[in-house]
Amino acid sequence: MKRPLWIAEARRPEELDELKRAGADGVVVFANPFGHPFAKGLALDEVCELKHRAAPSGLDVHAMIDGIVVEKDVETIANILAVFDAIPLTAVLCFDETVGLIARSRNLSIPVIYVPGSLLTNAKEADFYGRQGFAGVVAASDLSVSAAARLAEHTSVPAGYSLGSVALYRSKRKLITDNGVEASASSTYRLNEEKRPHRWFPIQEDDSGTMILRDRAVSIPRDIVWENLPFDWLFVWRGAMDFASFLSFFQQEREGRQ
């Protein structure tokens, strides 16, 4: 049985040592300007620095290019991919398959892993993306752990699962500003549905739109036998958590799964 690699979201090079100590096999960073409202992402030189710092500890370094790719983004993404290919990073993760298609069209050798949020829901779909040259896929975030595990078991393509703070809703609209509140990147906002008074959903916006996160971090239920999980990766996302909370969450998940 394969052992999944634990890949933790990092936002600054200084976080690597602690994530390594907490049991991370690798880290994933968002690539600016393709982060999301909760994670602006690192500039190319910062990704280079982070990779440099990760080298002695042997941590894998992945970069995520988030969001739907529109025409004006294509050249920017191609340039970013060329840099990541040259560094080289372990892999690029993408929300939109276009990133993988760009890498393929530019003959880049960097592996691309497809992480389409809620779209990848069955093993045949995963196989399909394998045939299209993707190095792996991450199962839909709304699949249960056991459903995602079934997907991973039945595909020939390396497959992962998302833990931690997962997006529930993505919009191109600016729902905070458009409701008369001046959105600040440094403020914390929460959304509460009127019939669910004790549930608080983190919400944030930036120029790309609005993201709403789940009110609870996704973790692996304790009754699931760890050895039976056929994933290649477990990506652990930070969302609205500060680093200390995230580290604690990561450690708890990781240690419970030794």
Q: Which chain residues interact with other proteins by CB under 8 A? A: 68-71, 73-74, 96-98, 101-102, 105, 117-119, 121-125, 127-129, 140-143, 147, 150-151, 154, 167-181, 187-196, 200, 203, 209, 212, 214
Residue 223 burial by Cβ neighbours in a 10 Å radius (0-12, 13-18, 19+): exposed
Q: Toward other proteins, which CB reaches closer, 131 or 222? A: 131
β-strand pairing of 209-213 with 167-171: antiparallel
Nearest distance from residue 94's CB to other proteins, in Å? 12
Q: Toward other proteins, which CB reaches closer, 122 or 251? A: 122
Nearest distance from residue 70's CB to other proteins, in Å? 5
Nearest distance from residue 198's CB to other proteins, in Å? 10
Nearest distance from residue 104's CB to other proteins, in Å? 9
Nearest distance from residue 66's CB to other proteins, in Å? 11
Q: Are 188 and 213 in contact (CB under 8 A)?
A: no
Q: At a CB cut-off of 8 Å and minimum separation 6, what does 257 contact?
A: 220, 226
196 in helix, strand or coil?
A: coil
What would the two tokens of residue 68 be? 């739907």
Q: Toward other proteins, which CB reaches closer, 48 or 167? A: 167
Alpha-carbon distances, residue 30 vs 8, 34, 41, 94, 149 (angstroms): 12, 7, 4, 10, 26
CA dist., res. 94 & res. 160, Å (int) = 13
Nearest distance from residue 59's CB to other proteins, in Å? 30
Q: Toward other proteins, which CB reaches closer, 188 or 248? A: 188
Q: Toward other proteins, which CB reaches closer, 49 or 142? A: 142
Q: Which helix (H) or strand (E) holds 247?
A: helix 243-255
- Residue by residue, DSSP assigns 77-101 as HHHHHHHHHHTT-SEEEESSTHHHH
